[in-house]
């Protein structure tokens, strides 16, 4: 064999060349990254984190807060959310706006609101196009429900118009005009683009313009020199999609970003020893977390068993174990500060094992019962499930926890995806909402059974109230109706409300951030200090 391998002793030029070439290729690959562009370090840049990557720059296809953070920076609306601790709005492109009667909102645009790219001045015609296109069925927008009973927008003059609803729709002021579907786009630009856009946009009218999207890496916004509101605070805003909050915190501490939401678990440490030149603020969140019970499941159909479970769940223990004491107990599904928030729930947050045992006896289950709890595989949820398991055991209820990854979890109650919805007994759930109570209650009506109403709760009175409350202008009356709906949910025994969580944020003292009352950043209002 050695003789056969003699060529090894005399180097083979081909092989030597190969090895040399490999090395050279490596260097060439490295050199290939060198580019002609050198990044300007002297620009005033805001670096901020979002939890997901951008999906669309078209308001019709915007998928929630991540897209909206970008769109609200590059487009104008008639009104914008006002930064601060209380929900409210401020004028943006509108010079004036007024609810003239139950179904009509009149507006007048400021003169000189310009679209970039030579698409001219914003007119009432653009507002009409922007709003009405969301209703266009052929566009297949998922955001159509946000406009509620919008019928049309009439153009009264170049700058004036009237938003007309077929029925009163008070949520328009909370979730339509200042939110995703309230973004005003250029009719001319969109028509030239074929009626819709995806990850690029032909023009902007806000303080910033969309400059670049590097998928999975960052979105860059650049100052719009023609913004009607003056001079935007930053030359550029770099938005980094970082899904994990701990990674985001590391990125903040290493100086890669200037502002981020942090995990509830790290709030204590950050407060005890905050990073230099940083401020930590806590905002209540609009999320709502609850334990739902499937009223149509054979075991859980027993109302006394459901009530026993309600009494077995010790909310303070969950808040301590899963949310590190950084979140408050909730009283329902509507967060504090919103119409319909209940200052106090019917059940106290603390468990009451004696009452639970009474209900178990009434249910004929004094000897104990075994039930399942379906949970999304996030650490806070798993901890919550373990606490529930422990406290239920004290009353003789054995809870078996089923963990699911997100795709599987979010289809559990979907009756079109098989029969699994029937097996749900207890489910730990968490929904988000926009700042109007109708956004929270919409999922618990009878029509939502098998879609998002996984408890399969059904009460004609609840359905009637839910439909009516959306179209009542009187705030006090609306407030009363939404409170009553939550009372009914609690009385059914199908819900045990846990928390609205919290949104802790950290930012450098070199910036003046602007947040919604739920802690979401309003990038257009950020400035440097």
Under the rule (CB under 8 A), what is the footprint of other proteins?
A: 1-2, 4-9, 11, 15, 18, 26, 29-31, 33-39, 53, 55-56, 63-64, 140, 142-146, 198-199, 214-218, 240-244, 247-248, 250-251, 253-257, 405-408, 410-412, 414, 416-418, 420, 431, 443, 452
**Alpha-carbon distance 404 to 401, whole Å?**
10
Nearer to other proteins, 58 or 314 (CB): 58
What minimum distance in Å lies between the beta carbon of 106 and other proteins? Answer: 28
What minimum distance in Å lies between the beta carbon of 228 and other proteins? Answer: 30
What minimum distance in Å lies between the beta carbon of 243 and other proteins? Answer: 8
- Residue 401's DSSP bridge partners are 373
What minimum distance in Å lies between the beta carbon of 161 and other proteins? Answer: 26
3-state helix, strand, coil in the chain (%, to 5): 35, 25, 45
Nearer to other proteins, 159 or 507 (CB): 507
| Inter-residue contact 345 to 331 (CB < 8 Å) | yes
Nearer to other proteins, 139 or 164 (CB): 139
What minimum distance in Å lies between the beta carbon of 428 and other proteins? Answer: 17
| Inter-residue contact 481 to 234 (CB < 8 Å) | no
Nearer to other proteins, 108 or 196 (CB): 196
Read off the DSSP letter of residue 353.
H
What minimum distance in Å lies between the beta carbon of 256 and other proteins? Answer: 5
**Alpha-carbon distance 332 to 350, whole Å?**
15
What minimum distance in Å lies between the beta carbon of 410 and other proteins? Answer: 6
Q: SS3 of 100, please?
A: strand
What minimum distance in Å lies between the beta carbon of 408 and other proteins? Answer: 5
- Residue 81's DSSP bridge partners are 89
Nearer to other proteins, 142 or 527 (CB): 142
What minimum distance in Å lies between the beta carbon of 150 and other proteins? Answer: 15
Kindly calculate the radius of gyration of the chain based on its CA atoms and give it in whole angstroms. 27
**Alpha-carbon distance 167 to 331, whole Å?**
30
Nearer to other proteins, 218 or 500 (CB): 218
Nearer to other proteins, 164 or 408 (CB): 408
Residue (of 245, 242, 194) closest to 378 by Cα position: 245
The order of strands in the sheet holding 94-101 is 94-101, 104-109, 160-165, 150-155
What minimum distance in Å lies between the beta carbon of 268 and other proteins? Answer: 18
Residue corresponding to tokens 């939401």: 261
What minimum distance in Å lies between the beta carbon of 250 and other proteins? Answer: 5
What minimum distance in Å lies between the beta carbon of 216 and other proteins? Answer: 4
Residue corresponding to tokens 């609200």: 72
DSSP-assigned letters across all residues of 290-334: EEEE-TTSTTTT-HHHHHHHHHH--HHHHHHHHHTT-SPBPSSSS
Nearer to other proteins, 11 or 96 (CB): 11
Nearer to other proteins, 36 or 367 (CB): 36
Residues in CB range of 446: below 8 A, 6 or more apart: 453, 458, 459, 460, 463
Burial 386-404 (b: 16+ CB within 10 A, else e): bbbeebbeebbbebebbeb
Determine how β-strand 236-241 pairs with β-strand 218-223.
Answer: antiparallel
Nearer to other proteins, 143 or 297 (CB): 143
Calculate the alpha carbon distances from 431 to 296, 441, 452 in Å: 21, 11, 10
Other CB atoms within a 10 A radius of the CB of residue 234 amount to 21
What minimum distance in Å lies between the beta carbon of 204 and other proteins? Answer: 19
Tokens found for residue 192? 């030239």
Strands (E), 445-528: 495-499, 502-508, 511-512, 527-528
| Inter-residue contact 218 to 240 (CB < 8 Å) | yes
Nearer to other proteins, 36 or 42 (CB): 36
Nearer to other proteins, 66 or 339 (CB): 66
Nearer to other proteins, 26 or 268 (CB): 26
């Amino acid at each position: 064999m050695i003789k056969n391998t003699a060529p090894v002793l005399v180097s083979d030029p081909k092989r030597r060349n190969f090895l040399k070439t490999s090395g050279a290729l490596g260097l060439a690959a490295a050199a290939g990254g060198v580019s002609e562009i050198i990044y300007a370090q002297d620009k005033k840049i805001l670096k901020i984190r979002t939890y997901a990557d951008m999906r669309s720059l078209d308001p019709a296809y915007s998928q929630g807060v991540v897209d909206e953070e970008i769109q609200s920076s590059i487009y104008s609306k008639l009104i914008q959310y006002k930064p601060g601790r209380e929900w409210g709005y401020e004028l943006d492109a509108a010079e004036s706006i007024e609810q003239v009667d139950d179904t009509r909102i009149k507006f007048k645009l400021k003169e000189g609101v310009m679209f970039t790219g030579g698409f001219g001045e914003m007119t009432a015609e653009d507002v009409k196009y922007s709003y009405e296109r969301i209703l266009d069925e052929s566009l297949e927008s998922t955001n159509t429900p946000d406009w509620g009973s919008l019928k049309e927008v009439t153009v009264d003059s170049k700058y004036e118009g009237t938003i007309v609803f077929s029925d009163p729709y008070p949520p328009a002021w909370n979730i339509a005009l200042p939110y995703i579907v309230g973004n005003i786009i250029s009719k001319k630009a969109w028509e030239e683009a074929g009626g819709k856009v995806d990850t690029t946009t032909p023009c902007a009218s806000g303080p910033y313009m969309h400059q670049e999207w590097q998928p999975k890496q960052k979105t860059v916004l650049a100052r719009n020199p023609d913004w009607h509101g003056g001079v935007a605070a930053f030359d550029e805003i770099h938005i980094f999609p970082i899904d994990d909050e701990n990674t985001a915190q590391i990125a903040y501490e290493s100086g890669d970003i200037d502002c981020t939401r942090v995990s509830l678990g790290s709030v204590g440490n950050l407060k005890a020893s905050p990073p230099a030149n940083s401020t930590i603020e806590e905002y209540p969140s609009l999320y709502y977390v609850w334990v739902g019970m499937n009223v149509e499941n054979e075991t859980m159909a027993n109302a006394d068993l459901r009530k026993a479970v309600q009494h077995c769940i010790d909310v303070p223990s969950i808040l301590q174990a899963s949310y590190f004491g950084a979140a408050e107990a909730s009283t329902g599904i509507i967060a504090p500060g919103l119409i319909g928030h209940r200052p106090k729930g019917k059940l106290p947050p603390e468990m009451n094992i004696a009452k639970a045992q009474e209900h178990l006896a009434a249910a004929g289950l004094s000897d104990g019962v075994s039930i399942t709890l379906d949970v999304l595989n996030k650490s806070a949820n798993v901890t919550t499930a373990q606490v529930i398991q422990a406290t239920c055991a004290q009353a003789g209820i054995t809870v078996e926890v089923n963990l699911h990854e997100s795709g599987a979890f979010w289809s559990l109650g979907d009756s079109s995806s098989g029969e699994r919805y029937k097996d749900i007994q207890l489910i730990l759930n968490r929904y988000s909402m926009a700042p109007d109570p109708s956004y929270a209650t919409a999922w618990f009506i009878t029509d939502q059974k098998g879609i998002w109403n996984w408890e399969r709760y059904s009460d004609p009175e609840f359905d009637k109230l839910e439909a009516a409350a959306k179209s009542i202008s009187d705030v006090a009356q609306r407030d009363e109706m939404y409170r009553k709906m939550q009372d009914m949910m609690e009385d059914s025994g199908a819900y045990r409300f846990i928390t609205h969580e919290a949104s802790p944020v950290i930012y450098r003292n070199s910036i003046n951030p602007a947040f919604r009352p739920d802690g979401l950043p309003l990038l257009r209002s950020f400035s440097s200090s």
